[in-house]
Amino acid sequence: MFNLMKTAILMAAITALFMAIGAMLGGQSGMLIALVVALGMNFFSYWFSDKLVLKMYNAQEVDAQSAPQFYNMVKELAQRAQLPMPKVYLIQEDAPNAFATGRNPDHAAVAATTGILRVLSERELRGVMAHELAHVKHRDILISTISATMAGAISMLANFAMFFSPRDSEGRPANPIVGILVAILAPIAASLIQMAISRAREFEADRGGAEISGDPQSLASALDKIHRYAQGIPLETAERHPETAQMMIMNPLSGGGLRGLFSTHPSTEERIARLMAMVRR
């Protein structure tokens, strides 16, 4: 119920941002058009955003014949978590990472890069995939997928607002400062909405993944290894679509500055410390 409420709040916040930008573009009529667009985007995000994200990453579905070891690992963990078997995907990328998507446990998918399969041991990979199934079990994969889709849409709409805001009789922007501010602040606002729910969600998925796998130390070891490898191997699709970064088990974006300030992931050190505390208990 709580995650359903968070999803509703997220959709409402995104819709409000759309309407605010629409009002800047075209007053009351622009606000109404933006409302219709936002409602359409929310509908699309609910039903199709998982497929869109998987297509962005060119993820290829695998089964017990094409990737038996990986597929059977996910199957065993799903049974331990008392979850329906999700669809399983591989992404041909060297950067080690993984994510879960889908609107609910009955329509879920987990995806991992080929890089993570090469970098991690079998026990560490079990910890990672258990983390992703914990996202499925907690029913927060819908939130992350919707926020990724809508944050990207807001960024595009904000840029549209800067170039197509109302103009005076001489063709100049009626209020260029407002247009620039919207183009800068709207994506930041979208990022803040993502951050508000994402960091706590990662801690919970770490805890849930450790419980599903029964091996918090291996998940801690996996996070440490992914963190070290990911710093030197960029995930190109995430760089092109930074709004999807918060879906990953580890932030795949390179560089610091504002990206570090607005990171949707808690620090790796703190995540590892919490998992090792579970080991000691």
Indicate which residues carry an active-site annotation.
132
Distance CA 162, CA 221 (A): 46
CB 142 within 8 A of CB 102: yes
Residue type, 66: S
Q: How many CA atoms lie within 13 A of 183 on its CB side?
A: 13
Distance CA 24, CA 158 (A): 10
Distance CA 133, CA 208 (A): 8
SS3 sequence of the chain = CHHHHHHHHHHHHHHHHHHHHHHHHHHHHHHHHHHHHHHHHHHHHHHHHHHHHHHHCCCEEECCCCCHHHHHHHHHHHHHCCCCCCEEEEECCCCCCEEEEECCHHHEEEEEEHHHHHHCCHHHHHHHHHHHHHHHHCCCHHHHHHHHHHHHHHHHHHHHHHHHCCECCCCCECCHHHHHHHHHHHHHHHHHHHHHHHHHHHHHHHHHHHHHHCCHHHHHHHHHHHHHHHCCCCCHHHHHCHHHHHHECCCCCCCCCHHHHCCCCCCHHHHHHHHHHHHHC
